Chain A
Amino acid sequence: MATEAHDAAPAWHATGMPQLDITTWANQIFWLAVALVVIFLVLWRVALPRIGAVLAERRGTITNDLAAAEELKQKAVAAEKAYNDALAAARAEAGRIVAKAKADIQGDLNAAIAKADAEIAAKTAESEKALAEIRAGAEQAVSAVALETADAVVTALGGQADPAAVKAAVAAALKG
């Protein structure tokens, strides 16, 4: 480098390091101080409070959201419980209605059966009475037929039937 031409060569040229040229230090330190003061004031008064507030707000928002989510979750659990309770109550109610309907139907059925039984009994009694009449009629008819038959048999045998004796004999035979 062309050093020989300059009488007032900076100190750095002797060492090869511009950093060691103390003639520039005052300039560097002055402007460094200015820069640091500006940065400090900007950070201290504006940037750091603002960013700190944003971070705090975000933390608050997240906490609130989590709390809200927890609350909603509990509401959902409560709603599910209410639903299940309502379902169980409805099932119980339905069971009760079914039982009541069954009981009613059973009652109706029993009444109808009883009525039918009574009708059947009445019909049976009526039938028995009719049967008895028929049977009585039949007995009379049998004795009449027997008398006639006996009379005819006696006559056919050439005898003279004694009505009273025949009647007695037929009655005895019928009884026997």
Chain B
Amino acid sequence: MAEGGFAIHPMDQFVVKRWFCHDEPATPLINECTQNIHWYDITNVTVWLAVAVLAITLLMVVGSRGRAVIPTRLQSVGEVIYGFIHKMVEDVAGHDGVKYFPFVMTLFLFILFSNLLGLLPKSFTTTSHVAVTVTLALIVFLFVTLLGLARKGIGFLGMFWVSSAPLALRPVLAIIEVISYFVRPVSHSIRLAGNLMAGHAVMKVFAGFASMAAISPVAIGAVSAIYGLELLVAVVQAYVFTILTCVYLKDAVGDAHH
């Protein structure tokens, strides 16, 4: 990655390291802080997850502390998000899906806040890691699958049998449907992590170019523009992840379709 006299390290921002460990600020990043990380260690992941938890608590609990009929600004932000996701669950997953609203809300707020906190300079974007997004996607996948089997029993598998297609095509379509069902968590997780990682890496690359005097005005303008774009991406990806969760939830709780 080192070219000419300067180096751009767009991927360094994603390195997981121990929080209470002082390494050299620059590369090499392979040192005692990034090696042999145990599952219980306090890392930058832990810290930024905690910041997300605190921010969500601040907005949703402290913001609604007053329980005011005429809301404060913070309370009305929480109420808008509540109403938005509640309506989404009701519209997409159906009336039976509303009881899983806290689950969907947890996913939406976690992803939204992780994405937005990741845009703070020097911060760490937890949702840019496939470990995190794959876990999220698998939670949704297992939740929907187990819920569908629990609610509909073996009838849940009927969603793979496309009864509106000609009989001869149905086995073929069933195979395709099963494959697409199991591909869901992959696309669900890679979409989120890929968007976040790519955006942050591109910003870092342009930020690196800003150190070259000749192109620094262009680079700084580009960083500003991409930052705006990344704000949009952060919100849209949280929305996309959540609405797909609702769509999958509909398979488990809604009427059979296809």
Contact = CB atoms under 8 A, between A and B. Distances in A.
Question: A and B: real partners?
Answer: yes
Assign chain A's interface to a size class: 35 or more
Interchain residue pairs A-B with the least CB separation, the first 10 = A47-B60, A26-B39, A35-B49, A24-B16, A44-B102, A2-B28, A18-B14, A28-B131, A25-B131, A40-B106
B130 interface: yes
Q: Which residue, A6, A36, A61, has most C-beta atoms of chain B within 10 A?
A: A36
Interface of A: 1-3, 5-6, 8-10, 12-13, 16-36, 38-40, 42-44, 46-48, 50-55, 57-58, 61
Interface stretch (B67-75, B176-184, B216-224, B241-249): B67-75
Given A6-B30, A27-B16, A48 B53 contact: no
B144 interface: no
A18 B130 CA distance: 10
Interface of B: 1-2, 9, 11, 14-16, 27-30, 34-41, 43, 45-46, 49-50, 52-53, 56-57, 60-61, 64, 67-69, 71, 75, 78-79, 82-83, 101-103, 105-106, 109-110, 126, 128-132, 135-136, 139, 193, 197
A119 B139 CA distance: 122
Contact of B79 (A8, A21, A32, A54): A54
B16 to A, nearest CB: 4
Contacts of B101: 48
Contacts of A50: 61, 64, 67
Contacts of A34: 49
B16 A21 contact: yes
